[in-house]
Every structure is written in structure tokens, then in C-alpha cells.
Amino acid sequence: MSQEARVLIIDADTAAAQKMGLALDSAGFPVTWCSFAPTEVAENLKDFRPSVLLVHSELSSPQLGALLARLEATPVPVALLCKDVADERFVRQMRTGLVELLQEPFSARLHINRVRLLMAELSQRSGELSGRGGGREISELVQHLMRTRRTGGLAVGEEGRAFFVRGVLKAARLKDLTMEPALAAMTRSAATWTYTEGADGASGLVDFMGEEEPFVVTYREYGEARVQAQPAPVEEPTTRPPAVPMAPVVVDPDAARTPILFVDDDPAVVLMLSGYFSKKGYPVATASDGIEAMNLLTTRSFEVVIADLNMPRLDGWGLLRMVREDLRTQETPVALFSAQDNYRESLRLLHAGAQAYFPKTLRLSALEVQVKELCEPRRRFLRLIDTDGGIEFNFGSLGPQWTLRALTVSGFSGQLDARDSWANWRLWFEAGRLVQCTARLGSTSLGGDRALCGFISSKQAEGSLSRGTPAPEEGFARQSTAATLARLVPWLNDEQKRAAEGQLARARALQVNEELYRLFITVGPPAWQPMVRMLCEQKLTPAEVIARLQVTPMEVAAVVRELLRRGVASLQP
């Protein structure tokens, strides 16, 4: 295809979008750019009529989920510029929807040529993927289909069949199993598999449910899709009743903006949860233990994490500890669930740091209600951003970093005022970009990075927004808000780590709260018990514990930090 393919760049960072646009324009592409705002996207799709969208986002981003939902009415292939390109193997043969993953940062030399080749090869792609099961391959494929809202058919071995419409499982069978149980069994299979996108993916599914419950599958490209059980015809077995058009699926915009991470080592549980919430329009990702979950949390953005308490390598307790200790993740709401009622109640009494504790017997519909309740404070904030002042917010419970990103995405222009027992802050925004921050601590005034670091670290800051307030002289050198946070948060993490290690090095012994200590011994990680008993019962110093147990200083430091954070012990110099 010629260089005249029209490219629409979508990026929350206007400056970055403009930079990419100028590079593409210099290479001969007609190009324009916009933010993720629905009105801007709709106007550009209508007026510019792009051949391809170049979108700067992660696969798990709620912005991308909402964008893919809108594109179902105006189909345009999407090339994604992102950090995580692990799903590249699932898009390399796709002809519609998400068709390319490009590794950021943007490189004019590499990526412009790749966009050119992409437009030339799309018509030659097969629209089909294949492989052999085993490990997590089929499970990861299913998650990709749900996350990217794909329509098509999956065949696993000789007997496994599943059909997805806009990322939602509509039919599945493997031997005597149907729907989610059948799909869960397929994900554990070591058989060969094939996925075919679009209308071709429906072939072979018409009769796979068997004579007693034949299925009619109809699919119109980019339009309505349905999978409907029909009574078996009696007089004319070769004819099927005409399909009745189905009303368009209504996507819940709140769900599309709420990516969820499910963490459990039981594939059947993970598939059940992810399947239900994907049907409801939530972007979903999964992990099999706490370590895998933490890797995802440090590279993607999630509104809720729901984790099992009992898992190999790193359990729910350990995951919660790591999430709360890292500034990159500590604002993420975490819910723990378990089949052990006493364990959950003990953790609740210990104030372990999770926002909720769910029984595994909880119905899925009830779990969704609980998830909505966890998300309601942030959803309320998003609804009220456009209100003209006078409304108080608890920025500590929302998360200071989350608040800054939400104001960026909404294009907010105005002033944020916040206060806690330590300081008062004032932040100014222009078209969603943070341009200045000041803080007052008693008679001391701070500005720029020092003031913003204080706001990011605040736990209980409250305040309000005022729209349209003129901004002062810029203090962040025209950096995007995302770039400012990316620069400051790792530095703050290192500073907190050094401070904690210095405090630990000066400690002689621990002063123990006996009541909380007994509870901690009951519900804490079993692997920590020898260290905990030496520190709290035998009153040994951290250095003595290291010498006796031959453990690393980092292991002892993690245990001590946990005891301090839970209030189980305090440092005795």
C-alpha cells in the first residue's frame, strides 16, 4: 500500500502525540492526533477517516477497552504502542481490531516503516492462529480474546469448541461439559488448537452442540452477533430458521474503565471469574500467584485486585504486603478471598491493609456488587470533576497518584486544594497537565518536586477542585503529568527504602504488643515464624537473627517492616 494510509494517533499525552505526528507527516503519511476523549475520537473518525489508529496505551488500560468498544461501530485496525508486547503472538495474523503491538518508546526509524508494512500486509493475513496447548498458552489466548473484544471461534483438539462475540463467551462444549467449565477444561488441554476470527470462526460450530441442542450461529462483520439455541427441525432437517437480528450490546462505560486483576493458582476459579466479569464488560487480567501478580501490577494499571489467600511462591498476604510497600502500586484496592472464614476474620481484625475480604462461596453477581462498591469513590470523583467547586474529596482514599492521572485524562483545567494534619497543598492544571504544585508546612513554603512528593506520600489528604483557575508560572518544565510521576515515584520509593533500612540498622530490640503478636503468629506466613519468635519472644536483635538462622538482611528487614506496619511491634533503640 502507498504511503497515503491515513493515521490517527490517540495519546493522553498531547506533546508525545504531536511528536509522533510530525515524524509520520515527514514520512509522507496524512496524519492527525487527539486524546482518548470520546468526542474527539468520534469527530476524527468521522472527519479524518483514518486507515489505521496508532494508539499509545497498555492492553490492560480501561481507555483502550472503551476505545475498542467504540470502534465496533466504525471498524479501523489498531496498532498499539506499549511497554508490554507479550500478546504480539496473538495479533500477528489478525486482520481486524488490534492488529499490531509496537514496543515503546516510539522510534521513527523502526515504527514508521512497520506501519507502512502493516498496511500492505493486512489484506494478506489469514485471520487464523494455531498452536499446541500445555502450560498457560490457551488460557493466555482466551484472556487476550476477552481483553481485545474479539469475535471468532476456538477449536481445541477434536472435540473442544468455543465461540466468542466481542470478547464474550457465547457457546462452548468439550465432551459433556458446556460454557465456562468446558472452556476451563480446554485451557488445561495439551491438544493442538486453532482460533479463527470473524465469520469464518463460526464454521463448524453450527452442529457441535449435538442433535438434542443444535446451535445456530449468525455473525455480521462489525455488527450484531448472536449464538442462539434452536429446536431441532423435524420435517426439513437441512433448513434452519432465519436468524432474528439482536439488539446491539450496551457496554457499561464504568465497567469498561475498571480493569481487574484476578490472582489464584486454580485455573478453573480464574477462568470462572474472568469469564463472568469479561461478559460484563470489565477488562480482565489473571495471575497464578503473587509474584506473577506483582509483575503485572508494576507494568499495568488496575482498579481492583482480587487475590486468593493461599497460593504457592507468594500468597495473598505476601502480595498485599508488597503492594502496600511500593509507591507504584500502593493505591490499588486489594480484596482477599478464601474458603477459610476464620482466616479472613483474623486478617480483618489485624487491619491487614486490604479493602475487603470475600468468601469463595460468594455468588458472582454479589461479587460484582462488591467490586462496584470498592470502585464507587473513584467513580463518584470522575462524575463530579466537571462540577464547579464546593465539593470535598478524600484524596487519600482515592489515591493521590490516581487523582493526578484522572485529572490528566479528563483534561481538567483549574486548581486542586488539599490538606492534612501535616501540610496544605495547591496544584494547578492546564488541559489535564500538572503545571505547578506548592505546599505550606507551618511557616515553611515548598514548591515544585518537593511539594509534589509530599502530596504523593500523603495518606489522608482532603480537599476540593476549582475549575478555570488561572495557572501560575509553570514549575514542571512542560513535562506531562505521567512523565513527572514516572520521574518522582521511583525516587520516592528509594528514599523510603533507605530510611527504613537506616531505622532498622539502629534498632536494638522490638517492643511487642502481646495481643496483636498472638494474632500475627496465628495468621502470619509460616515461613516467617522462626524469625518472628526470635525477634519478639527471645528479644534478639536483627543482626543476631541473621547470624543464627543464616538468612539475608533483606529477609529480616521484610519481617520487621511487617511487624511495625501491623502495630505488632515498635522499635526499641
The more confident residue out of 550 and 146 is 146
Nearest to 352 by CA among 334, 369, 368: 334
pTM: 0.56
Question: How far apart (Å, rounded) are the C-alpha atoms in residues 83 and 76?
Answer: 22
Question: How far apart (Å, rounded) are the C-alpha atoms in residues 461 and 458?
Answer: 6
Going by pLDDT thresholds of 50, 70 and 90, the confidence category of residue 81 is: very high
Segment holding 307, helix H or strand E: strand 304-308
* CA angle at 442 for the pair 441 and 443, rounded to the nearest 5°: 105
The amino acid at residue 108 is A
356 Cβ neighbours under 8 A, 6+ residues apart = 333, 335, 336, 370, 374
Residues in the chain: 573
> Which residue segments constitute the domains of the chain, with CATH numbers given?
7-124 (3.40.50.2300), 128-229 (no CATH), 286-379 (3.40.50.2300), 385-495 (no CATH), 507-572 (no CATH)
Whether pLDDT at 456 is above 80:
yes
For residue 349, the model assigns a pLDDT of: 43
Whether pLDDT at 126 is above 50:
yes
Cα 342 off chain centre by: 30
Going by pLDDT thresholds of 50, 70 and 90, the confidence category of residue 214 is: very low
Torsion angle (degrees, nearest 10) of CA 407, 409, 411, 413: 10
Residue range 140-191, pLDDT digits in tens = 898 899 888 888 899 998 888 998 888 888 888 888 888 888 888 888 888 8
Neighbours of 80 (CB within 10 A): 25
Whether pLDDT at 478 is above 60:
yes
For residue 499, what is its C-alpha cell? 530510611
The more confident residue out of 340 and 8 is 8
Looking at every residue in the chain, the average pLDDT score rounds to: 80
Handedness of CA 382, 388, 393, 395 (dihedral sign): positive
Question: How far apart (Å, rounded) are the C-alpha atoms in residues 246 and 224?
Answer: 6
29 CB burial (10 A radius; 0-12, 13-18, 19+) = buried
